[in-house]
Amino acid sequence: MLADEDDGFQIAETLVVEEKEEESEACKKVREYLSKRYEIHLTDTRIIRGTLNCTDKDANMLFYESDERWPEGETRWLGQAMIAKKHVIAMYEIKPAQETSI
């Protein structure tokens, strides 16, 4: 595990608040938004869809399994993508089609 072996990453890892008893209310509130799929409309009219993986105080959002599409354009696979707050026009949650779907 590269991240565990590297000191730099170990220090950074401690910043990630995991499920702990002393987790703040703000953390719990933000955590409710994670692991859900969203559709993000960007300032350049692009639409990004992906699962929210991580965020911070400045609302920098990290998505995985994401793709992008221009209006009336083809969809293109992105993988992991980071979006800064300033580029976001709208944010919609994509509800799962069925409760049983993964």
Residues 36-95 that bind other proteins (CB under 8 A): 37, 39, 42-46, 48-49, 53-59, 62-64, 67-68, 70, 73-85, 87-95
> Cβ contacts of residue 94 below 8 Å, gap of 6+?
36, 37, 38, 39, 49
Q: Using CB under 8 A, pick the residue from 2, 5, 21, 102 that binds other proteins.
A: 2
Which residues contact residue 51 at a Cβ distance below 8 angstroms, ignoring those fewer than 6 apart? 35, 36, 37, 38, 63, 64, 65, 66
CB of 100 to other proteins, least distance (A): 14
**5 forms part of the interface with other proteins (CB under 8 A):** no
Amino acid at 74: E
Instruction: Give the interface size with other proteins as a residue count (CB under 8 A).
Output: 66
Is the CB of 85 or the CB of 100 nearer to other proteins? 85
Q: Two tokens at 63? A: 């998505």
Q: How far is CA 71 from CA 6, 45, 46, 48, 74, in A?
A: 42, 7, 7, 11, 8
Give the interface with other proteins as residue ranges (CB under 8 A): 2-3, 9, 12-13, 15-19, 24-27, 29-31, 33-35, 37, 39, 42-46, 48-49, 53-59, 62-64, 67-68, 70, 73-85, 87-97
